[in-house]
Amino acid sequence: MSQWKDLQKFAPFIQQNWKKAGFEQPTAVQEETVPAILEGKDLIVESPTGTGKTLAYLLPIIQKLDKKTQHVQAVILVPSRELSMQILDQIRKFTNGTSFKGASFIGGANMKKQVEKLKDRPQIVVGTPGRVLELIQAKKLKMHEVKTIVIDEADQLIAKEHIQIVKNIIKATLKERQLLFFSATITKEAEQMASELGTSPQLIRIQQKNQGKHITHVYIKSEQREKVDTLRKFMHTNPGRTIAFLKNTNKVEEAAIKLQYHGLNLAVLAGEGKKKERKEAIAQFRSGKVPLLLTTDVAARGLDIQDVQTVIHFDFPSTREQYLHRSGRTGRMGKEGTVISIVNTIEESFLQKMGKELQIDLIEKQLRGGKLIDLKR
């Protein structure tokens, strides 16, 4: 049994499911946030991608569920259908052996079918803000028993284009509810907005230095027109699971056509796309049938795929937060990972500046015979 003291406060079924999942010690974010959530505090939590944020809020939420109440008791808001399904999977895993239920509600899905799910009386609802609000306004989702609202990927969900929807969802609950804001990066604007929405929320920051020693950050110089060929050469001799980030859907499609022409096996995740196509692309990549996933930042938001060996910044990230979000797709939960930036001359100077600001050691490499080798100085 784990030596985590707070785990002993949880119901036996949670302890058993924790052990069954193979966990022993908590991550830093779990250790710091669980006691505060159990106490009912509002929180703003910043913790790097892949550090176990989902279980940090999910375990105490499950612990606090009242089995006598057949109404929704917790709502988790997320920006994407993939993240919604990932969280629902964790809900099922950690409520195993109980009558507690979770349900997912996402935009674009059949409304009638989703209303049917509510007839099963789930205690935890996870979904995208637009669809959750639709269900509330249609008086299908009752919020009077909701004790906790989680805003996951908070920096995105409380941005200008989403904030009013989130506010309306919060207003539908009683005032004594608990608000939890979680994200890999919390901007000053997001922190201020979360502070206004919550009741004296406690700010918890898990520093980047607490993780990342197992991630190697390198860069390769390449002319812009040669970037696709650079990626192709790398993948031919490094077939491990790799995610390459491009700046928009057109770039993704253009690169995919060129790489597939040269026989490279890959999956594409771009834009909202069709639900079936997105699901298939993720399934192929997750199962290892294809080694490379080409995607955009929007499409990959909240994507949780284990054992990604390499993240490639094909197009240069526009912000430090974007660099961290992308890079956090590898080296999850303490595993080894490599982050490669393919940069032209102009981008190199921006990368060096970003590396200093983030206190990341950037190593320049050359690609020879498809292999990364140290530069001879």
**DSSP string for residues in 263-283:** T--EEEE-SS--HHHHHHHHH
Q: What is the pLDDT of residue 333?
A: 66
Q: Identify the segments of the chain with pLDDT beneath 70.
A: 1-3, 208-213, 271-274, 299, 302, 333-334, 376-377
Largest Cα–Cα distance in the chain? 69
Q: What is the pLDDT of residue 367?
A: 86
- Portions of the chain given CATH number 3.40.50.300: 5-208, 212-374
Q: What is the pLDDT of residue 160?
A: 82
- Quote the CATH superfamily of domain 212-374: P-loop containing nucleotide triphosphate hydrolases (3.40.50.300)
- Quote the CATH superfamily of domain 5-208: P-loop containing nucleotide triphosphate hydrolases (3.40.50.300)
For residue 249, which of 313, 304, 297, 318 has the smallest C-alpha distance? 297
Q: What is the pLDDT of residue 1?
A: 40
What is the rounded distance in angstroms from the CA atom of residue 168 to the CA atom of residue 303? 26
Going 24 to 27 to 29 to 35, the CA torsion angle's sign is positive
Instruction: Decide: 42 and 180 in contact? Cβ < 8 Å.
Output: yes
Note the pLDDT tens digit of each residue in 318-363. 888 889 888 888 877 667 899 999 999 999 999 999 999 888 999 9
